[in-house]
Each structure stands twice: as C-alpha cells, then as structure tokens.
Chain A
Amino acid sequence: MSVLALHDIHRSFEPGIPVLDGVELRAEAGEVVGLLGRNGAGKTTLLHIAMGMLHQQQGTVEVFGLDPHREPVEVKKRIGFVSENQILPAFLKVRDVVELHRSVFPSWDNDMAARLVSRFGLRPGARIKTLSKGQARQVALLCAVCHRPELLLLDEPAGGLDALARREFLETSIQALSDSGTTIVFSSHYLSDVERLAGRAVMLHDSKVLIDNSLDELHESFSIALVPHRPQGTSEALLAMPECLGVRVRTDAVHAVFSLDPDDACALITNNLGVTDALCRTAGLEEMFIEIAGGER
C-alpha cells in the first residue's frame, strides 16, 4: 500500500480553468519525492488536496489507505505539513505554538523540539509577530517534524530561509526523517535541493504530470537536443514526435527535451526530420526544467 496515492485528480477554482487535470501521484514508504513546476502549476493545490484541506472535484486521494476527507484527524496526526504561506497565529508565543502542537499530536517529541528550538536560536517566549520571516518558517518546520510524522508534506519549505538556514533545515529534518523511513513529498524552486535530496522528481506542467521519474532515470534516459534552425527542424515538427516533451526556440538553435538517451534522440531527429547536425546531450534537472517550463509543448 502506498503512503500517498492520488489518482486522476481534477481541480479548478474557476469553471473551465483547470489547475489540476487528471494528475497521478504515488509515494511509497521512505521515498523522497521532489515536486517541480512553475508558479501556478498546481503544486500547492496538489499538496493541499493530499492534506484534505482542498477537495478534489474528481479522482481519489488515499493517505495511509485512508481518505483525508473522511478521516481528517486520523490522517493529519500522521502527517507533518509546512505550507508556502504558513500563517501561525501572530499573537502566540513560540512556546504556545509548541504547546498547541504537543496537545494535538500524541507522538510529539519534546526533546527533539527543545533541541531544534535551541539549534535554530529561537526564543520560546518570543511572539510569532516579532519573529523574522525565516524564524517563523523555522517554527513552522519544527512543528512539522517534531511529532515524527510518517509523511512529511512540504510546500516550498526553504522559502524565506537563507542558504545556511536552508541547508541546516534540510540536513536536520528532511534527511533525519528520511533516514528513519518517513515519506517526504516536497515542492521546491531550488532544483539543487531536489537533486540532492529527492529520489524521484515529479514535474507538473499545464495542469498535468509531465515527468515522474527517478533522478537516475532522468539523468540517463532524458536528453536535450540542440537542433539548428532548418526548414524541416521546426518546433512543430519536433513536438509532433511523442518522445519530445518540450521545445524552446532560441537564437542559436531549437532546444528540445526528449525522453530518450542522447544517442536515441539524435537518431530519432535524423530519421524523422532529416537533420543530421543536431547536438544531443544529457542535462541537469535545472536545465531540463528551464527548457520544458520556458518552452512550448
């Protein structure tokens, strides 16, 4: 049984404008999944649906085999969640926020909380409204991990944190929990974090899942082809090939992402379009993301 299973999820906020259109996502125990996509791609909506905070208009959601809408309390007790726009009650003190979480999570680890408070340099008596954005985010992260959740859902967890705090958090929480078998699904615009931490990357594009592969597969089986401008090598012709995920027209060449290794991609272009001087190579996650997200499909 998957820890998280989202099947055929549809969701829109306005009629005719889907945010998620038939999205599939599964996460197994102990897996670390990085969720990628441009702003507005639906990452936050997808994580909120997984939490049961938004309702899908079609499709099914199962978390630990339970429906988060039917058994929200049971599900949420086993999840740690940090939202991109995390709002902690401004009038509470750090100590109050910890107290609140301790009261609702039976598995709350006081020692871990105390250690993290100390490590982050937070003052227990400080009110949330007096904290900086990064400190408030640290409090939210602390609350998400100290009950040792079985599933950690993080929506831009490092947003607002400086490089050191981000690294600190990722090392202390994500890696620690991942090592202890917690399933982690996190969205991030820091692709280096995704490459470093995630075992699998899921990319949302045009309301659908465009890529759902392990990072190893992405490195080995995906490539970028730089196709010189030729009458037969147009973006339309490239997009007509099912293996072509996206095309971006640049001044030097047409950049196309293929779900094939470089050799196969070049062979395909030569055979189908007659272009023999295309340059095909493997690409990093960030480059691939830019080519797909910034291009057409």
Chain B
Amino acid sequence: MNPTLCLFRQDPAHMGLVRAVLTCLAVGIVMRIAPDLGEDVRSLSGNDLPEGFGPFYLLFTAMAAVFVLSSNAWTRSSRLALGLPLPARRVWAVRTGSLVAVALLSIAVLASVMGLGFDLESRRLTMNVVVALTAARASATVMLLICLFQLPHSGRDRIPIGPPYVVYIIGASLLTLVFSSAQITSMAGTLVLLVVAISLGVYLYHRVPPTFSIGPTIEESETPVWSMPDERDFELPEPVGDQSLVDSEEDPTFALHWILFRALKSNILSWLLLGVLLASAWVATLEFFKGTNAFLPLFFLTIYQFPLLQAALESMTPFDPLPISRRMLWAHSVVPIIGSVVIGIGFALLTIVVNPRPYTQITYSECCVKAPWDYMELSSDGRVPTITASWGESYTPTAHPLWKGRTVALYDPFEVGAESSARFVEYQMHRAIEAVYGIQVPAALSSTNLESPPNIADGADQGAFTLEEPRGRMSADRNRTAAVALMLLALLTTVLILVSLLQFSSSVHRKAYKWASIGLTVLVVALAVAVSIARVLGFTEVWYLGALISMGIRSLAHSLPLPTSILWFFCVTFWAGAYLLLERVFCTIEFPREKTMNRFAEVY
C-alpha cells in the first residue's frame, strides 16, 4: 500500500473519525429537533450575530476544534514515522491533512443534519443556503486555526506546550474568531480566510526541515519570543539539595483524595463532558417541569456517562496496584458525574425560583391551552372524541397519526380551535388544570380576563389554585410521575453501565460485552437518526416519541398501587441499590491495560 495512505490510516485523527461523525450526528439531531433551536433553523434569515446564525457558526467551529484537539493537534509526526525513510514534509502533510479532514467531516455532518431538508412537492433534497455558507466559514476558520497552531517550532516533531505558547494560541484564536465571525454568511470573507489558511499551510510546508527533531534545534535555542522550554527535561537531574520530599504538614488522606481527583479528571475532555452532563441535567429538569421534551436531554445525560466512565477507568489503572479500595476508586469515578447532574438540577430549580415568569405546567393564552405531553391520549383507530362543553359548544382535537398513513394517532384532549369561543378556551383550561393539578378552579375565575392567566390574588382570595402557585414545585401528579421516571432512568443507566463494566470482567467472553456495549450505543444513535430522517421525510414527528414515553411513564405511575411518598422511597432506594450493585461489579473488574510492551504504543 502507498506509504502516504498507510500513514493516513494510522493517524489518530483518522482513528477518531467514527467518534467525530457519531457525535456530530447526535448533536446535529438535537439542534435540528429541539423545539426552539429547530425553529431558528427553519426561520433562517441572512441575519448574522447574535440573533441569527452566529451560535451555529460557533457550534460548528467548536465541534471541529474539539475533534482536532483530541487528535493530538500539536504532534507533527509520530515517533514511528520519524524512523521511517519518508520525507518529513510528506509526514507533516499527511498529519495536517488528517486534522483538516476530521474538522471538515465534523462540520459537514453537522451542516448536513441541520441544513438538509426534503421538498415533498418536488421530491428533492434541499440544502439550506445559510447553513451551507456558515459551514464553509467555519471550515475556513478551523483550517486557519490548524495552521496557526503549528506555526511555532516548525522543526520539531511536536509543539512543546508552555505558558508562552498558550498565550500565543489564545491571542491568535481570538483574533481569528473575531475576524471570521463578522458577516458569517459573506462568501468573500470565507474566501479571504481560506486563502490565508492555504497560504499559511504552503508556507509551513516549505518550512518543514528534511527531518523532524525530537529535541530543540540549534536555531530554536536562540529562544524566539514565543518559545518555551521543552516538556522533556534534557538536563541531568539536579541534586535533591534542601527540597523536601514530603510535606509532613499535609494530611495524607486529603493528599490521597486530591491526587485521585486530579488523576481522574486530568483530561480536558472529561471536564467538557462533565459540562455537557451539567447542562443536560439543567435543561432536562426545566423541560420536565414544563412537561415537554425532557427525554432528549435525558438521552444525552445517559450516553455521555460512558466516555466519562471509560476515561475514569483508564485514569485509574496506575492506582490499581496500590492498596486503595475499589470503593474509593468507584466513588472518585462516579461522584463527579453524579455531582454534575445534581448541580445541573440545582441550577434548574434556581432558574425556576428566580424566573419572574411562573414556571407552570400548562401554557395558557387566548388561542390555546397546552398541557404536558403526559396528558395526551392515544386513539387506536384514528377517531378522536369530540369535547363538548355544558353549554353545547364542542371541538374535535386534531389527530396526529404516529406514522403517515397509519390510524393510530395521538391527540390532545385540551386542544382548542381557532374558532373556539373564549368561554370554551376557559373551559378547556379548567379541565387541564383539574387533570394536571387535581384542583377544581373556582367558578369566580370564570370571569377572568383571558388575556392573561388567572392571578395569584384572585386565587388566594378563593383559597384555591392559581397558575402561579406551582412555581418552583411540581403538581402532585407530576411528582408521582417524576419518581417513576427516575426509577426507570436508574434501571436504564444501571443496565448500560453494567454492560460497559462487564467488558472488563475476567470472563473470556469480555469481548462479547464490549461489542454489546458498542452495539447498544450504535442502536440508540441509529434510532435517533432514523426518527430524525423519518421526520425530515414527513412520516412522523420526533415529539410523538417523547409524548409516547411521557404517557407510558404516567400510565405506569398510576398503575402502581403505592402512595407517592413510597414511590419516592423506592426511587431513592433504587438509585442507592444501583450504585451499590455497580460498585460491586466494579470491585471485580480488571482495569484495561496493554497486554504486551509495544515500543510503538506511545508514538503519539
């Protein structure tokens, strides 16, 4: 095989392509189908920062940058390639080309998922022009950043990272981003960036020496302004002198916990994922309170645990031979994950409490009444019962077939039509309040001005319910559903982590567990992709899935003959049990390690 192709195949960026594609696919789907963001996509304009496409441009650039950085962007040549009879320029070109490839592919996947559409009339795929232009701008930006990252020390096999380099790279990145974020959809600006990136790439190519040096070169010892000492110390070690070996003042237990924490979270990717978990928990809690799309954030909450757990396992390998209990290592692995989720939930509760708008579970306005998805109903034959008020006015809610051409349909029993009278809207509103909060709305409120929701004062005078009352807390019904939903989440998380852990068991079938773990992940992503494609093609809507899950959980919650407090007790017990069960399995696993010493294993 051609050595260039061989090098490309072995490049860490190439190895991370699948990961990049899957992640971008998942993120793109969320952006596409999330109610608010999706609306932004659909109502695109030529608008630039900040209301228009600026956030999407930043997302494209950030995602590409993450995958470039996680592909050893600072390494120009592997140690293996250094020993091969290949010109350094070719090695560098392959390395840089791989980084560019992973960046462009990430952006292409994101742009495709977010910008592709299907025109039912002409039966043709369409691409949103603004998305395409934004993707082009992001691609040019990332290409320029890749070249800028590599500008210093072009004679070295890897760029030594130190404070001066960090300062340089932050400054260069900020300047590039400021320049490139102006008029994002302007083609001319994109071309300028592209030309600069390519020119810099050509310049760097010509600066690459015949062979890379693994240490500082003679010229570099002149110390240019942005240079920094090499990570590897080439000098002979200094004598111990008066440097104390241990700090006798420090509490050894604290030192142990601190070192474990640093070790397990030393990877920047772990911090990023913890941030994603926190944000997912935040959004999921808010959505759950509103009774709408909580399941997508929960989905991400679940799948992002795996890379974190994997990173934790790898970080813990050095501690395995030490007399540190597995329980402590388990706690250090999962407490940051749990902590992120708890903080996310805390932020959500804080958001609810401090938000001037009441966080109700029923959206109320003159035109419509929107109850949580849990209260939708299913019709197996597609026929929807007509809602008739006591004075004879009626309305038949819209049927939403789960799949185009099928009779099984969802409908909202609290829906009102454009022609419905204000009195009927109020009637439906009261029915929704009764269903969701289990409280009869006093008759006095019937005369309330429907321009705004019933207010606190009116409700307080009557000693009854107002829409602002549930601010910061859930209805009794939702409280019950939440307990069951969390139990199901515990079950799902436990099964997934269990399969993930069992791939490190001592069983000879560990490979089967590994493939099961990969298979589960692929299945979940494939399901999300399939639903998304079906939605684009007009066969179904993603929110149907969320509504069905919500309805199922509520139905399950009501079928359990136990009081809510007991359900919460079981929920807490369930989570504690899951923690202990997984801890028990964790105590029996074998940490991942190389079976044999391979001198090429540390090439990057």
A interface, CB within 8 angstroms of B: 11-15, 39-40, 44, 51, 53-57, 69, 72-77, 81, 83-89, 91-92, 95-96, 98-105, 110, 113-114, 117-118, 121-126, 129-131, 135, 159
Question: Residue B221 at the A interface, CB < 8 A?
Answer: no
**Chain A residues within an 8 Å CB radius of B256:** 100, 103-104
Min CB gap B409→A, angstroms: 51
Q: Is chain B's binding surface mostly helix, strand, loop or mixed?
A: loop
**Chain A residues within an 8 Å CB radius of B315:** 89
Question: Residue B259 at the A interface, CB < 8 A?
Answer: yes
Question: Residue B244 at the A interface, CB < 8 A?
Answer: yes
Do residues B239 and A91 form an inter-chain contact, with CB atoms below 8 A?
A: no
Question: Residue B225 at the A interface, CB < 8 A?
Answer: no
**Bound complex: CA of A86 vs CA of B237, how far in Å?**
21
**Chain A residues within an 8 Å CB radius of B324:** 73, 104
CB-based nearest A residue for B506: A55
Do residues A117 and B245 form an inter-chain contact, with CB atoms below 8 A?
A: yes
**Chain B residues within an 8 Å CB radius of A103:** 252-253, 255-256
CB-based nearest A residue for B591: A53
CB-based nearest B residue for A105: B323
**Bound complex: CA of A248 vs CA of B594, how far in Å?**
32
Question: Residue B560 at the A interface, CB < 8 A?
Answer: no
**Bound complex: CA of A103 vs CA of B255, how far in Å?**
7
Question: Residue B597 at the A interface, CB < 8 A?
Answer: yes
**Chain B residues within an 8 Å CB radius of A129:** 231-232
Task: Contacts A99-B255, A122-B237, A130-B232 given; indicate if A51 touches B508 (C-beta within 8 A).
Answer: no
**Bound complex: CA of A88 vs CA of B244, how far in Å?**
21
**Chain A residues within an 8 Å CB radius of B323:** 72-77, 104-105
Do residues A102 and B259 form an inter-chain contact, with CB atoms below 8 A?
A: no
Do residues A81 and B321 form an inter-chain contact, with CB atoms below 8 A?
A: yes
Interface string of B557-596 (1 = CB under 8 A from A): 0000000000000000000000000000000101101111
Interface string of B504-515 (1 = CB under 8 A from A): 001011010000
**Chain A residues within an 8 Å CB radius of B207:** none
Q: How large is the interface on B (under 10, 10 to 19, 20 to 34, 35 or more residues)?
A: 35 or more
**Chain B residues within an 8 Å CB radius of A123:** 237-238, 240, 243
Do residues A53 and B590 form an inter-chain contact, with CB atoms below 8 A?
A: yes
Question: Residue B320 at the A interface, CB < 8 A?
Answer: yes
**Bound complex: CA of A15 vs CA of B509, how far in Å?**
8
CB-based nearest B residue for A153: B321
CB-based nearest B residue for A96: B259
**Chain A residues within an 8 Å CB radius of B232:** 129-130
Do residues B239 and A118 form an inter-chain contact, with CB atoms below 8 A?
A: yes
**Bound complex: CA of A11 vs CA of B231, how far in Å?**
40
Min CB gap A99→B, angstroms: 5
**Bound complex: CA of A117 vs CA of B250, how far in Å?**
20
A-B contact pairs, 29 of them (CB 8 A): A14-B508, A40-B596, A54-B506, A74-B323, A85-B597, A87-B318, A89-B259, A89-B318, A91-B263, A92-B259, A92-B262, A92-B263, A95-B243, A99-B259, A100-B255, A101-B322, A110-B246, A114-B240, A114-B245, A117-B240, A117-B245, A118-B239, A121-B236, A121-B239, A122-B240, A123-B238, A123-B240, A124-B243, A129-B231
Task: Contacts A103-B253, A103-B256, A118-B239 given; indicate if A13 touches B246 (C-beta within 8 A).
Answer: no
CB-based nearest B residue for A19: B595
Min CB gap B603→A, angstroms: 15
**Chain B residues within an 8 Å CB radius of A105:** 323
**Chain B residues within an 8 Å CB radius of A98:** 245-246
**Bound complex: CA of A39 vs CA of B598, how far in Å?**
12
| Residue among B246, B266, B590 with max Cβ neighbours from chain A (10 Å) | B246
**Chain A residues within an 8 Å CB radius of B321:** 51, 53, 76, 81, 83
Do residues A57 and B252 form an inter-chain contact, with CB atoms below 8 A?
A: no
Min CB gap B267→A, angstroms: 10
Question: Residue B51 at the A interface, CB < 8 A?
Answer: no
Seed contacts A14-B508, A99-B250, A124-B240; 18 additional CB < 8 Å A-B pairs? A14-B511, A51-B321, A53-B591, A73-B323, A77-B323, A86-B318, A89-B259, A95-B247, A96-B259, A102-B252, A103-B252, A110-B246, A121-B236, A123-B240, A123-B243, A126-B237, A129-B232, A130-B233
**Chain B residues within an 8 Å CB radius of A102:** 246, 252, 255
**Bound complex: CA of A292 vs CA of B231, how far in Å?**
45
Interface string of B188-200 (1 = CB under 8 A from A): 0000000000000
Question: Residue B326 at the A interface, CB < 8 A?
Answer: yes
Do residues B239 and A99 form an inter-chain contact, with CB atoms below 8 A?
A: no
Do residues A57 and B506 form an inter-chain contact, with CB atoms below 8 A?
A: yes
Task: Contacts A53-B320, A99-B246, A104-B324 given; indicate if A13 touches B588 (C-beta within 8 A).
Answer: no
**Bound complex: CA of A114 vs CA of B240, how far in Å?**
9
**Bound complex: CA of A89 vs CA of B511, how far in Å?**
27
**Bound complex: CA of A124 vs CA of B321, how far in Å?**
22
**Bound complex: CA of A13 vs CA of B595, how far in Å?**
10
| Interface residue from B245, B317, B590 paired with A87 (Cβ < 8 Å) | B317
**Chain A residues within an 8 Å CB radius of B591:** 53
